[in-house]
Structure 1
Amino acid sequence: MVVWALGLNQTSAPLNLPGRFSFALNEMAPALQKLRLIFGNADSTHRQVEAVILSTCNRTEIYCAGEFAAQEHVMRWLAEYGGVPPAVLRSHAYLLKNEQAARHAFRVTSGLDSMGLGESHILAQMKDAVRVAENAGMLGATLNQLFQDSFEIAKHVRTATAIGTSSIGLATAAVRLAAQLFEDLRQTRVLLVGAGEVIELAAVHFAARGARHIAVANRTLERGNRVVARVGGEVMPLSELPARLAEFDIVVSCTASILPLIGLGVVERALKQRRHRPMFMADLAVPRDIEPEVKALQDIYLYTIDDLAQVAHEGRTGREASVTQAEQIIDSGVQRFMQWAARHGMVMLIRQLNAQFEGWRASELSRARKRLSGGEDVEIVMEALSRGLAQKMLHGARAELRAGDTAERAEMEQTISRLFLREGR
């Protein structure tokens, strides 16, 4: 059993690529079901592959446990989902295996791999991803252990280190920059475009600062209502955004749209209606929701995800010791998980061997009984039974001895000798 992770994020790929592979929470279960069908139609050894999809505004990762060769099926499936050739996805994706995959999962859950060091909302996102995989029947013992360990490690990191103290994520960075432009956020009207986790966090932060009014624009009003339910305000259809943009002093956008939602002409009209009162805009989407040309307009203060990442990076200053301590906790967790995986793998192998041998035994015994019931001599039937079992047991060893190059055959000879030619057996 191999644990591996296939991923794509804002640092591994161009800005216009990661957004193609994003999954909303309600899209993950159907995606996992489709992946299960692909595994089922592939080689029989891939049918037991476990899978969990993690998708946020700046990363999509698929964690799997099973035969490593199955990653080719996942690569092709994900490339098809994003509408790009597999070679393009392969050139920008990262593929991590065993210890590296476990360490990456633990670092992500603990907030060490986030744009804002110590961001805590990724833990909730990971828990949602695991829950969806479990409900879809794609969470087995190995990935369950991996993520339960990751949750425990994240908790340990946050309680034993200062890694989460004053952590600055993208949403927090947007609020901080907006507060630098407007002296009193209590007099501002805020428009949030989208309804994902980052937008929800931004809503909470602006509400905590006492923003006068908060509106959420989203294609699906139901998801927008979930955000507003926490902070108050209004939900409006995305189609109303061009007509109402001038009403808002602050605009924060983070959607999965492939094309920009807020164009130069719309912003220019809004500025005229506002009589050029300044407007703060933060584009947290990948690819971008706001046309880059908007940044050149006077009275517009537009910050992209790269600008906000730099602000978030400042939160790392003075916390190097905490990072080192957190990495040590993670290293210990990786060792424990790999030890568990080795034990679990051995148990699973023994179970598979027992099942296979039991199948052979039952098959030969059934054949022997049929021959006996037909009146054949007992000695002849017993001889055939024993020979049939021996042939089945030795078939794999013989095939391996005939395969491979000289060095591989020599190593296989030693292994088979240890297994089958022991003295006193």
Structure 2
Amino acid sequence: MSVWALGLNHTTAPLDLRGRFAFALDQIAPTLQSLRSSFGSGSHPQVEAAIISTCNRTEIYCASEHIALDHTFGWLAQSGGVAPALLRSHAYTLHDDEAARHAFRVASGLDSMVLGEAQILGQMKDAVRAAETAGALGSTLNQLFQRSFAVAKEVRTATEIGAHSISMAAAAVRLAGQLFEDLHQTRVLFVGAGEMIDLAATHFAAKDPKSIAIANRTLERGEKLASRFGGEAMHLADLPARLAEFDIVVSCTASTLPIIGLGAVERALKARKHRPMFMVDLAVPRDIEPEVKALEDIYLYTVDDLAQVVQQGQANRQAAVAQAEVIIDAGVQSFMHWLGQRGTVPLIQQLNAQADEWRAAEMARARKLLAKGESIDAVLEAMSRGLTQKMMHGAMAELHAGDAASREQTAQTISRLFLRKER
């Protein structure tokens, strides 16, 4: 059994390219079905698959008898509508121990833009649940991810990898504080009501801004989040008309197209008499048209723009990283040992079946002898002799077959299997 992975992340691909391969959680099941059906029933049957898609990465993990990286690569390029050569220049491919090590590092927060951040672990668990629900997760990938979660837990328990970690939300608050002298006097709008917005709203609310508003496609969900922060909720459709009211705008939705356009921001600036606006686009694909960044009095940051801020203090955690890598290495070795053993499972099953067949035959023969009145000792002797002969027949036949070299090799193997001393 082999495992392979391919993907692109914040270190290998620009934001707009990552946006071509972003899958919302409710898209995972049909996407996995499309991927698995693309293999067909020919040379790659029974392919296990899982997709992890966040603002910083999209990764596909697969498992099957034979590695099919090229096929998976072609499918991903087609799904994103890009040339395979372009995708290949920004993607990475991994297999077996490299794929396992990568999964363990991702789960542990070592491959994140924010070193040691914990959010990716929850996102991976969501992805695994989605794959399991879609019927795409088999025993091999399930084992890989469960071990990933166990390794991540050990890393966070045994090291200080998460200490002093600056989240994307905290970085946004820090940047906003550089633009506005007093965040207490600002009005903040959050667009969306998902996990990232929840986290961002929590950080900004700690600064006690003048007002907080949540704009969401589903008003009920927006109201639920707004009530936690004493804010108001509004329909997403009302956003263009009310954009000018806000000093800070943080957006993160699952929309496949920008929902805040250049024209809407220009009108908002005019209504604000060009008072500055701080905007953060945490979505992949983008929620805010990139041309907005060129406007005067607009300070627009994307997830990639926040990278420099969140990397501050990383040097303090290098010792923890080294400790984490040791834990991950041990986890990889354990997984590869398990994966290697999986290859002998069919043989073990065949041996057990053969042994059961021999045992059943000798038991049937013994019952017949007992029914004829044979003594128990004679029956036991015959049964033990019959089992021994059946077990030794193949080995004895091999010892008399082949040339001298093959007989010598067979003799060493049989000696190791049958003549080893019990410890």
Range into which the TM-score falls when normalised by the shorter chain:
0.7 to 0.9
Instruction: Give how far 1:134 is off.
Output: 1.2
Instruction: Kindly report which structure 2 residues correspond to 1:364-403, keeping only aligned pairs within 5 A, or say none.
Output: none
Q: Which is worse superposed, 120-129 or 220-229? A: 220-229
Q: Is the contact between residue 56 and residue 113 of structure 2 (CA under 8 Å) also seen in structure 1?
A: no
Instruction: Kindly report which structure 2 residues correspond to 1:308-319, keeping only aligned pairs within 5 A, or say none.
Output: 308-319=306-317
Instruction: Kindly report which structure 2 residues correspond to 1:132-211, keeping only aligned pairs within 5 A, or say none.
Output: 132-211=130-209
Tell me what 2:41 maps to: 42
Cα distance in 2 for residues equivalent to 1:229 and 1:7: 38
Give me the TM-score of the superposition, normalised by structure 1. Answer: 0.76
Instruction: Give how far 1:92 is off.
Output: 2.4
Q: CA RMSD in A?
A: 3.2
Structure 1: stretches of 5+ with no match in the other structure: 359-413
Which letter does structure 1 place at the counterpart of 2:41? A
Q: Is the contact between residue 117 and residue 165 of structure 2 (CA under 8 Å) also seen in structure 1?
A: yes
Instruction: Give how far 1:324 is off.
Output: 1.1
Q: Is the contact between residue 5 and residue 96 of structure 1 (CA under 8 Å) also seen in structure 2?
A: yes
Q: Is the contact between residue 19 and residue 287 of structure 1 (CA under 8 Å) also seen in structure 2?
A: yes
User: Which one of 106, 113, 120 corresponds to residue 115 of structure 1?
Assistant: 113
Instruction: Give how far 1:219 is off.
Output: 4.1
Tell me what 1:284 maps to: 282
Q: Which protein has the larger Cα radius of gyration, Structure 1 or Structure 2?
A: 2
Instruction: Give how far 1:287 is off.
Output: 4.6
Give me the TM-score of the superposition, normalised by structure 2. Answer: 0.77
Aligned length: 368
Cα distance in 1 for residues equivalent to 2:278 and 2:248: 5
User: Which one of 101, 104, 118 corresponds to residue 102 of structure 2?
Assistant: 104
Cα distance in 1 for residues equivalent to 2:12 and 2:158: 31
Q: Is the contact between residue 19 and residue 257 of structure 1 (CA under 8 Å) also seen in structure 2?
A: no
Summarize the Cα distance change of 1:354–1:20 in structure 2 as closer, same or farther, 3 Å threshold: farther
Tell me what 2:89 maps to: 91
Cα distance in 2 for residues equivalent to 1:75 and 1:220: 36
Tell me what 1:126 maps to: 124
CA deviations on 1:220-269 (whole Å, 9 max, x unpaired) are: 55665675476553443333222111111111223455554333332222
SS at match of 1:114: coil
Q: Is the contact between residue 57 and residue 256 of structure 1 (CA under 8 Å) also seen in structure 2?
A: no
Identity %: 68
Cα distance in 2 for residues equivalent to 1:71 and 1:126: 21
CA deviations on 1:47-77 (whole Å, 9 max, x unpaired) are: 3211111110121111111134433343233
Instruction: Kindly report which structure 2 residues correspond to 1:62-101, keeping only aligned pairs within 5 A, or say none.
Output: 62-101=60-99
SS at match of 1:306: coil
Instruction: Give how far 1:348 is off.
Output: 4.4
Instruction: Give how far 1:20 is off.
Output: 1.2
User: Which one of 324, 329, 332 corresponds to residue 331 of structure 1?
Assistant: 329
Q: Is the contact between residue 4 and residue 68 of structure 1 (CA under 8 Å) also seen in structure 2?
A: no
Which letter does structure 2 place at the counterpart of 1:113? D
CA deviations on 1:8-59 (whole Å, 9 max, x unpaired) are: 22322233211111111111112222333333x231x523211111110121
SS at match of 1:16: helix
Q: Is the contact between residue 117 and residue 169 of structure 1 (CA under 8 Å) also seen in structure 2?
A: no
Q: Is the contact between residue 46 and residue 66 of structure 1 (CA under 8 Å) also seen in structure 2?
A: yes
SS at match of 1:150: helix
Tell me what 2:31 maps to: 31
Cα distance in 1 for residues equivalent to 2:414 and 2:316: 64
Instruction: Give how far 1:352 is off.
Output: 7.7
SS at match of 2:316: coil
Which letter does structure 2 place at the counterpart of 1:59? R
Cα distance in 2 for residues equivalent to 1:73 and 1:352: 33
Q: Are positions 1:19 and 2:8 aligned together?
A: no
Instruction: Kindly report which structure 2 residues correspond to 1:406-417, keeping only aligned pairs within 5 A, or say none.
Output: none
Tell me what 2:242 maps to: 244
Instruction: Kindly report which structure 2 residues correspond to 1:414-425, keeping only aligned pairs within 5 A, or say none.
Output: none
